[in-house]
Every structure is written in structure tokens, then in C-alpha cells.
Amino acid sequence: MAKYILQRVVMIFISLFIIVSATFFMMKAIPGDPLTSERSVSEEIEQQLRAYYGLDEPLFIQYVKYLKSVATWDFGPSMKYKAQTVNDIINDGFPVSALLGLEALFLAIGMGIILGVIAAMFHNKVPDYISMILAVIGMSVPNFLLAALFQYYFSLKLGILPTAGWGDSFEQTILPAFALAALPTAVIARLTRSNMLEVLQQDYMKTAKAKGLSRLVSTFKHALRNALLPVITYLGPLIAGVVTGGFVVEKIFGIPGLGMQFVTSINNRDYPLIMGTTVFYSIILLVMVLIVDLLYGVIDPRIKVSGKGKGGE
């Protein structure tokens, strides 16, 4: 077990190295640089700025320097937000995004699994149709539209929840969390439903019934655990996605999270920020995937993680 985790951690570092390198060179391959959009400055000043940021050095030297600083967890100064380093931006934004993301995640897992189980238990009956219509809506309606609708109905019409803002009260987090949870809820509901339907047909469900267990007990005790494995596969990337922020939702609700930094940094050609957010997201994603792989072993005893062979398959 320890050996397996160690192997995976080494793999994570190798993956990170590749991601950092690829992002670095792709970013440099885009024409223009952070200074392109500045108002026309004199040749001299531009030269000085380039020298300050190290942009005048050969590409390879820049790359090696960057690798060194990333290795010490220093992403450098932001080129756009002069007063802040990239580390500051991540440190400020991530807790906000993570809190919102976790809230959305709990909503998505809870509602998704319940909807999926109900749909499977009442296969091809009204509750099934209702759940699946909700799931289709969750999957197909973009979250900015949902966010706007939520704001319109719950804030303007009913006036029960604040429209936007962050950090003053828990109520402020409710609408964005629901808006952010819509898509994952729908995906989890559909995954749970299809897996439950398959599991409910299994022979061991008949055994459970033959023991005299009620439908509810056999569904939750025997079926759900077997049906959740594929859902857990989906959770890894999902968690990484939601805790690092939903760009649109954060923008609409005026939340100072990490999500918007992803997008604006690219428009601004803010090299250090692009690199910083990408590396940060990659780390979270890789760690989550590792945790999910370890969770498999807990949920399904047939899957044993070991240091032998390729991974834990």
C-alpha cells in the first residue's frame, strides 16, 4: 500500500513536470507577450520591462529559471496585478473557490445519488421520468442561465436570498452553489441510475430478497455500494473542477474566486499567472485522481491496490 502510494506520487511529479513544460512552451508559442497590449511605450522602457521580467533571455534559460522557481513553490509576480504575486492570488482565491466548490459538491453528490436511486427504483414510472427530465435540464441548461434565473426568482421576485456578493453570510453561497452543482448533479444522477438498473438485475439482489430483506434495505445496503463505483470515477475530475472555481458562476455572483483568474490570465497574457493556475489545477486534479483510486479499494474489495504491476488495476 505505502509502496503503491509512493509510486503514484512519483508519477504525479513526472506528470507535473510534463504539464509545466508543455504549458510553458505552448504559452510562448502564442504570438505576442504581456507587453503587447500596453499603451505604446518607448523602446527603452519596453526593453527595461522585458529585462525586469526576464523576457529578453533565451527561451531555454527562461524555461530552466521557471522550473527552478516552480520547484520552490514560487510562481513569481503577476504581470497584470502589479502589487500581487501569483502565490498571493492563488492563496486569496482558492479558499473562496474551494468553499463554494465543496458546497456544490455535497449538493451534487447528495441530490445526484438520491435522484438516480429513485429513478432506478421506479424504472419507467413517473418518478423516473421526473428525475431524468431534471437531469436533462441540468445537463443542457448552461449554468450562467441557471444563475441568472436563480437571481431573478429567488432574489428579485421572492427576495429570500441575496443576489450576489461573498463573505458576509452563508445565504450568499446558496444560489451560486446550486448553480454550480446543476451539471454534476445531472451527471451523477444519470450515472447512478444506469448503474443501479444494472445492479438491481444481478443475482445477488435476488439472494438479498430471498433472505427476507425489504426493498429499501436491499437497495441501499446491497445495490447502492455496487452501483457507486463508476460514480466515484467521475468524482476525481469533478472535485478538481469545482473546487478550483466555476468561472462563469463566480463572475455572475461577484465571487472573488480562482475561477475567473484562469480565463482573464490568458487574455492578459499574464505568463506567471497562466502557469501558476495551470500547475495548481494540475496538482489538485492529480491528487484527486489518486484519492479516487485509493477509494476504489475501500469500496470494492475486489480491487486491491498494490505496488506491483501497472498501478492498481
Partner 1 sequence: MGKLLEVNDLEVSFKVHGGEVKAVRGVKFHVNKGETIGIVGESGCGKSVTAQTIMRLIPQPPARIKNGSIMFNGEDLLKKTEREMQKVRGKEIGMIFQDPMTSLNPTMTVGAQIMEPLIKHQNLSRKEATKRAVEMLDLVGMPNPEKRIKQYPHQFSGGMRQRAMIAIALACDPSLLIADEPTTALDVTIQAQILNVMKDLQKRLNTSIIMITHDLGVVAEVCDRVVVMYAGKVVEEGTVQEIFKNPQHPYTKGLLKSVPSLDQDKDKPLVPIYGTPPDLFSPPPGCAFCDRCDYAMNICNKQDADKYHVSDTQYARCWLLDPVAQEVRSK
Residues that bind partner 1 (CB under 8 A): 202-204, 206-214, 222, 225-226, 299-302
Total Cβ atoms within 10 A of residue 84: 15
The CB-of-286 to partner 1 minimum distance in angstroms stands at 27
The CB-of-181 to partner 1 minimum distance in angstroms stands at 27
Q: Which is nearer to partner 1, 191 or 228 (CB)?
A: 228
CA 77 – CA 119 distance, rounded (Å): 51
The CB-of-193 to partner 1 minimum distance in angstroms stands at 18
Element (H, E) at 279: helix 271-299
Contacts of 244 by beta carbon, 8 Å cutoff, 6+ apart: 94, 97, 98, 101, 258, 259, 262, 277, 280, 281, 284
Q: Which is nearer to partner 1, 149 or 299 (CB)?
A: 299
Q: Which is nearer to partner 1, 115 or 224 (CB)?
A: 224
CA 203 – CA 46 distance, rounded (Å): 73
Find out whether 228 and 113 touch, Cβ atoms under 8 Å: yes
The CB-of-291 to partner 1 minimum distance in angstroms stands at 19
Q: Which is nearer to partner 1, 199 or 239 (CB)?
A: 199
Q: Which is nearer to partner 1, 223 or 275 (CB)?
A: 223
The angle at the Cα of 117, spanning 111 to 123, to the nearest 5 degrees, equals 130
The CB-of-196 to partner 1 minimum distance in angstroms stands at 14
C-alpha closest to that of 110 among 47, 181, 173: 181
